[in-house]
Chain A
Amino acid sequence: MKEYRTITQIAGPLVFVEKTEPVGYGELVNIVLFDGSTKRGQVLDTSDELVVVQVFETTAGIGKDSGIRFTGETIKMPVGRDMLGRILSGGGKPIDGGPEIVPEKRLDITGAAINPYARGSPNDFIQTGISTIDGTNTLVRGQKLPIFSGAGLPHNQIALQIARQSKVPGSKEAFAVVFAAMGITKEEANYFMQDFERTGALERAVVFLNLADDPAVERIITPRLALTTAEYLAFDLGMHVLVILTDMTNYCEALRQIGAAREEVPGRRGYPGYMYTDLAGIYERAGIVKGKKGSITQFPILTMPGDDITHPIPDLTGYITEGQIVVSRELHRKGIYPPINVLPSLSRLMNLGIGTGHTREDHKKVSDQMYAAYAEGNDLRGLVAIVGKDALSERDRMFLEFADIFENRFVRQGYNEDRTIEDTLNLGWNLLATLPVEQLVRIDRDLINKYHPKFTKAGKAEG
């Protein structure tokens, strides 16, 4: 392989090379340092005169005397069955002391878009055991549902609880977890690893770790390596794969860093104008393919800078993903776990996975009614702060109380508490029963007659 020593400029993570043979766009590049060690990079821009290479590791040690080798192919990921149970670096190298991965296939890490016509419809209800998700923001297989969180909030616990408890009731199909950490601290990483080990989840997991002190630019490929692995497990081996990506905010920072180094025209808040397309290239790698057994469900986690949901990262994410789970600082302060605020949370695929044949016929109506009642109660809190509780009408007082009960009984649950969907819905009915029947305007009469504790046998016996 030809080696060039024609580096003209090194700026940030970018290396500029002159006078090369024709080099392919997106090609993998090896950079050989004076001491014989190599670093990896990728071609970002190629022409007769100049090739721009983005280096995935730190450019420390690279100089005009470094050699550049173009490999002639785009970045490929070796994948194989024995990846399960392994821990890899953010660049895909084993770091658990085990042997190299025995590749069964080498796959392009960019990943091709699933033809929309070949996509299967996601409609298998996934029970996470968390009421605020199952009951009011239901997750289905093949969905991408991010957790929007903030610094210091327990998003990691929630992600782990989901990873641990998720199941499709009544199904015993093979499943796997792919975990990709981007720029998280060693401490956070340990927290995940210990939990995986404690629950035995590690043996059916593939872990990619790019920690806070690893090169930022490597974060650009970490989620792509993880998703390539996930696609192999799902569509070649037929497993149901849950992918956890954390923290996407660090990924976007790395993207901005490269954009700035290339002196690109920046978009909002300095993030590159193509960030939407770039993020879509990651998030859209979830779903089901018709006629194939496996599926990919994604849980990206991101921390909203300044808890600002309109910041470009959560904003663009929300436009690509099918909803969002919003973690609330206010609920967290009240000591409620999991502090999921259902009001701004949403699952866009919920209606595909609930109702008769999936969960229960009353699911949608119960959920809508709780949402509406909680929203109303929550609004009244603002009013109470001004006029006091006494100025409220009796009806308003009931809704105000509902908001409190909802948070304390429906939202609040234990870190290890795994509620079935029946538990969740019955709990919902019990809460709604605190309101007068005629206020339940979103539920048909026959469902009320069938499920409302006041009319059911069990409820009557209790009452």
Chain B
Amino acid sequence: MEVKTEKPKSDATGVLKRIAGPVVTAVGIDAHMYDVVKVGNEELMGEVIKIQGENIIIQVYEDTSGIRPGEPVINTGLSLAVELGPGLLTSIYDGIQRPLSVLVDKMGDFIQRGVSAPGLDHAKKWEFKPLVKEGASVGPGSIIGEVQETNIVHRIMVPPNVKGGVVKSIRAGSYTVDEVVCTLDNGAQISLMQKWPVRVPRPVNEKMNPTVPLITGQRILDGLFPIAKGGTAAIPGPFGSGKTVTQQQLAKWSDAEIVVYIGCGERGNEMTEVLTEFPELEDPKSGKPLMERTVLIANTSNMPVAAREASVYTGITIAEYFRDMGYDVSLMADSTSRWAEAMREISSRLEEMPGEEGYPAYLAARLSEFYERAGRVKTLAGSMGSVSVIGAVSPPGGDFSEPVTQNTLRIVKVFWALDAKLSQRRHFPAINWLNSYSLYLDSLHDWYDKEVSPEWNAIRSWAMEILQKEAELQEIVQLVGSDALPEAEQITIEVARMIREIFLQQNAYDAVDTFCDMKKQYDMMKAIRQYSDLAYAAQSAGVTPQQIISVKSKNDLPQIKFIKDYKPALDKIQAEMDAEFNALRSAA
């Protein structure tokens, strides 16, 4: 596949005809769809979104107040593209890849308009180390060298839209992102940076099936509803159900090598929390700041709406670029509903015929195009890489039947149903275990068998069964009270309570409990299983449910969550549990 980032220059300068909010109309330019244009005397950045006879309709990424008809419009002839190269990591961008720190230097604490800022630092020099020799033949996407960017090695690739050939010259040394480090015999010149249009997916060799889970350290996710590397998940949640915290936990703890976090139309103060917290957080694996493997995109709700629409594409293009180097990338988009609303807002300014609830008719197509850019792939260079996409959805009024949630659910494979009721009773993460699902359970079965325990898949099913049973029993309890249940079922209720309170509840703010590896998850679940087995055995031996429920040693189980070297304590509890039940049985 060939993608040209530069089109033939048509030196078109036109004039503005109409301005109505973020959508303006120009005449007198020769433009293609999605060309980037400079609007008005202040040269605000915009993008062509509709061509109607003479009229070129443009969405503007900045505030248009004060712009008048008659001001000039210049077509750059380029598509909206991002700069990809060393310097991406640790960066914080707005929706159109302008570094926010550079914007602060250029225009102060508030976002003003008409300031352009390149995505990468063009003055900084990077130490380039070639990995191929002169005379080697390379193709599109081949890795020719590397740069130690942070603790992450940034692999320098032949851009996918450059024809392959034989390396004519390649030099180690210190370069800016613009300097040529390698030339091919066909004349192609390769620098540390490449540009890629954000609305075009980067090509891959082959899409593979996802068979490895993305470990997040969150028990309800890894244990019950796992997402695969290269998979897609949706977190729909009414406001106040802990969606943002869940997403931030994922960004912090998931075992992806690169994290791209898109704050799309969200709260400024929450972005600040991310921006101040990430640099301080330690990556559990490398011990380095988490920021060193992170790219943040922050387009808060009061920043221009067109840039919000673009932010999602900017983010996924950056994610794909790191995937092409052979990394596992996880991308969080918070929130795709805000993105869809940006589409709706622009669509309504275009006076397009609305679809459901005023959303444009192409909503479903745009959503599926976006999620389809996720995946575990064999890259052009032949290595394995993945982009996992976790999109938050904010259904208005918590109503899951609304178009954005529904269209998202048709595409994604994992659904983590946040539940305001659970968060009200401070059950965190407030993910409803009955409504959530993961369609990756089968493809990940073997991995859990091999890497965790051959017993894991069975114990997971057991836990789900108990929880399901509890839901049915609760309906009866609601009517007649818990004492009226048969003895065995009273025990089921107690075991389910333990699964909920011990296993499912997890404290994101506790230094230890915030991350729980698979080994510990397995050990915890096994301890609950042990209690359950002993309890049913005791009950059939004639011990009363009251006695079983008031077994003392199990009260210490919740504390295991907060202990780092939990094994001795857990062993002790399990031994005591055995002893207590032995005593009960012999007394009965």
Contact = CB atoms under 8 A, between A and B. Distances in A.
B103 A117 contact: yes
Contact of B358 (A25, A273, A386): A273
A22 B69 contact: yes
A143 interface: yes
Contact of B276 (A24, A121, A372, A392): A121
A369 to B, nearest CB: 8
Contacts of B71: 22
B305 to A, nearest CB: 5
A315 B402 CA distance: 14
B134 interface: no
B111 A351 contact: no
Given A46-B20, A387-B479, A110 B558 contact: no
A287 B269 contact: yes
A47 B239 contact: no
B547 interface: no
Contacts of B483: 391, 393
Nearest to B353: A265
A16 interface: no
Given A115-B103, A119-B272, A375-B425, A273 B344 contact: yes
A322 interface: yes
Nearest to A444: B562
A26 B64 contact: yes
Contact of A24 (B67, B348, B482): B67
Interface in A411-463: 438, 441-442, 444-445
Contacts of A285: 302
Nearest to A276: B341
A103 interface: no
B18 interface: yes
Interface in A241-287: 264-268, 273-274, 276-277, 280-281, 284-287
Nearest to B359: A273
A114 interface: yes
A118 B104 contact: yes
B109 A48 contact: no
Nearest to B354: A265
A305 B531 CA distance: 50
Interface string B78-115: 00000000000000100000001101100011111000
A322 B300 CA distance: 13
Interface stretch (A174-182, A331-339, A340-348): A340-348
Nearest to A365: B507
A228 interface: no
A98 interface: no
Contacts of A266: 358
A36 interface: no
Contacts of B153: none
Contacts of B298: 116-117
Interface string A341-365: 0011010110110000000000010
9 contacts: A26-B65, A46-B18, A113-B268, A115-B103, A118-B104, A118-B109, A273-B358, A285-B302, A320-B267
Interface of B: 17-21, 25, 63-71, 92, 100-101, 103-104, 108-112, 239-240, 244, 263, 265, 267-273, 275-276, 298, 300-303, 305, 338, 341-342, 344-345, 348, 351, 354, 357-358, 394, 396-399, 420, 423-427, 477-484, 501, 509, 555, 558-559, 562
Given A23-B68, A118-B109, 17 more contacts: A45-B19, A113-B111, A116-B275, A121-B272, A143-B269, A265-B348, A265-B354, A268-B396, A273-B344, A277-B265, A277-B301, A289-B109, A322-B267, A344-B424, A364-B509, A392-B481, A445-B559
